[in-house]
Structure 1
Amino acid sequence: MNPIRLLIADDHPVVRDGLSGMFAADPGFEVLGEASDGAEAVRLAQALRPDVILMDLRMPGTDGLAAITELAKLKVAARVLVLTTYDTDSYVLPAIEAGATGYLLKDAPRDELLRAVRAAAEGQSVLSPAVASRLMTRMRTPDAGPLSQRELEVLELVAAGTTNREAAAKLFISEATVKTHLLNIYGKLGVSDRAAAVAEGFKRGLLGKSGT
Structure 2
Amino acid sequence: MNEPDGPAPAVLRLMLVDDHPVVRRGLRAVFDDQPDVRVVAEAADGAEAITVLNTVTVDVILMDLQMSGMDGVATTRALQDLPGSPPVLVLTTYDADVDILAALDAGAKGYLLKDARSEVIIAAARRAADGKLALSPDLAARVQRHRENTTALSPRQIEICRALAEGLTNKQIAQRLFISEATVKTHLVHIFDKLGVDNRTSAIAEADRRRLLSRR
Query: Aligning the two structures, in what range does the TM-score lie when normalised by the shorter sequence?
Result: 0.5 to 0.7
Q: Does 1:36 align with 2:44?
A: yes
Instruction: Give the number of the structure with larger relative contact order, counting CA–CA contacts within 8 Å between residues 6 or more apart.
Output: 2
Matched residues, percent identical? 45
Structure 2 stretches lacking a partner, 5+ long: 1-8, 157-216
Specify which of 88, 93, 114 is matched with residue 96 of structure 2. 88
Supply the distance in 1 between the matched residues of 2:152 and 2:26 (Cα, whole angstroms).
Answer: 43
Aligned residues of 2:99 and 2:155 also touching (Cα < 8 A): no
Q: How much has 1:89 moved relative to structure 2?
A: 2.6
State the match for 1:176 in structure 2: none
- Matched residue pairs, number? 148
Give the alignment partner of residue 106 of structure 2, picking from 98, 115, 124: 98
- CA change 1:35–1:144 in 2 (3 A) is same
CA distance in 2 between partners of 1:148 and 1:138 (Å):
11
The aligned residue for residue 63 of structure 1 is 71
Post-superposition Cα deviations, 1:136-157, rounded to whole Å, max 9, x if no partner, equal 3214x421479999xxxxxxxx
How many angstroms apart in 2 are the aligned matches of 1:60 and 1:67?
Answer: 12
Question: Is contact 2:98–2:155 with CA below 8 Å preserved after alignment?
Answer: no
2:149 corresponds in structure 1 to 142
Q: Does 1:126 align with 2:134?
A: yes
2:11 pairs with 3, 28, 46, which one? 3
Q: How does 1:16-55 map to 2 (within 5 A)?
A: 16-55=24-63
Pairs within 5 Å for 1:116-195: 116-139=124-147, 141-144=148-151
Question: Could you tell me whether the CA contact under 8 Å between 2:76 and 2:108 is conserved in 1?
Answer: yes
| TM-score, length of structure 1 as denominator length | 0.64
Query: Secondary structure, in 3 states, of the residue corresponding to 1:27?
Result: coil
Contact 2:95–2:113 (Cα < 8 Å) also in 1: yes
Partner Cα distance (1:102, 1:85) in 2: 14
The whole-number CA distance in structure 1 between the counterparts of 2:153 and 2:38 is 44
Partners in 2 of 1:60 and 1:104 — Cα distance? 20
**CA distance in 2 between partners of 1:145 and 1:29 (Å):** 39
Question: Could you state the TM-score of these two structures normalised by the residue count of structure 2?
Answer: 0.63
Runs of 4+ displaced beyond 4 Å: 144-149
Structure 1 letter corresponding to 2:133: S
